[in-house]
């Protein structure tokens, strides 16, 4: 593996079940674990669940890494780690047929992984690494952002093929130059 394409990404999802607010957050670092960028977003999906937030966090982070990279995803969700390491997406998608937001999250993560050369996952708790704690804080902040009704329709999922993830709290220079500015 070449060092310039080795990336560590720390991801987390946040769910405030009582208010049905979901956020995602991630921190991207290079192979030597030096900070590169971070995101905090509100999940604009009706009837989502906490697992969907975790899955969408990994998917969004992968979408913000250059294609064909070697990536290690650090997550505190065993479901995400298992799906990535054991390629259990078919089972996850099949078992979530009644939960459309979760099924779509698994499908989106599978597609995001296919854009890269090598994606592995490690289980990392938020108190085990400062970037994991930052990802957790970003996800929590994301859940407080304004919900964008324009990205959703009344049936609870988006038919316009727009990303189900909403507002960026923090844009990195790389994202601005690559045209990823989402407003």
Q: How confident is the model at residue 146 (pLDDT cuts 50, 70, 90)?
A: confident
Residue range of the domain that includes 144: 3-177
CA–CA gap between residue 10 and residue 31 (Å, rounded): 13
- The domain spanning residue 99 has which CATH number? 3.30.420.10
- Does some domain include residue 182? no
CA–CA gap between residue 183 and residue 168 (Å, rounded): 7
Residue 159 has pLDDT above 60, yes or no: no
- Does some domain include residue 136? yes
Q: Tokens for 60?
A: 């969004």
Taking residues 8-24, what's their average pLDDT?
Answer: 90
Residue 172 has pLDDT above 70, yes or no: no
- Does some domain include residue 143? yes
Mean pLDDT across the chain, nearest whole number? 82
Q: How many domains does the chain have?
A: 1
- Does some domain include residue 105? yes
CA–CA gap between residue 154 and residue 96 (Å, rounded): 20
**Model confidence, pTM:** 0.79
**Please, what's the b/e burial string for 122-145 (b: 16 or more CB within 10 A of its CB; e: otherwise)?**
eebebeebebbbbbbbbbbbbbeb
Percent of the chain with pLDDT over 70: 77
- Does some domain include residue 183? no
């Amino acid at each position: 593996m070449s060092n310039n394409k080795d990336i560590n990404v720390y991801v987390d999802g946040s769910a405030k079940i009582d208010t049905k607010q979901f956020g995602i957050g991630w921190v991207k670092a290079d192979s030597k674990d030096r900070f590169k960028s971070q995101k905090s977003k509100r999940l604009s999906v009706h009837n989502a669940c906490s697992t969907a937030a975790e899955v969408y966090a990994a998917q969004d982070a992968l979408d913000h890494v250059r294609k064909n990279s070697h990536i290690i995803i650090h997550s505190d969700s065993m479901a995400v780690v298992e799906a990535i390491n054991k390629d259990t997406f078919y089972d996850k998608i099949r078992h979530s047929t009644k939960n459309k937001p979760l099924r779509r999250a698994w499908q989106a993560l599978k597609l995001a992984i296919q854009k890269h050369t090598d994606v592995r996952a490690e289980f990392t708790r938020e108190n085990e690494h400062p970037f994991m704690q930052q990802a957790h804080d970003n996800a929590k902040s994301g859940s407080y952002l304004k919900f964008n009704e324009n990205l959703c329709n009344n049936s609870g999922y988006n038919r316009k093929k727009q990303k189900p993830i909403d507002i960026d709290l923090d844009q990195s220079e790389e994202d601005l130059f690559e045209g990823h500015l989402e407003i």
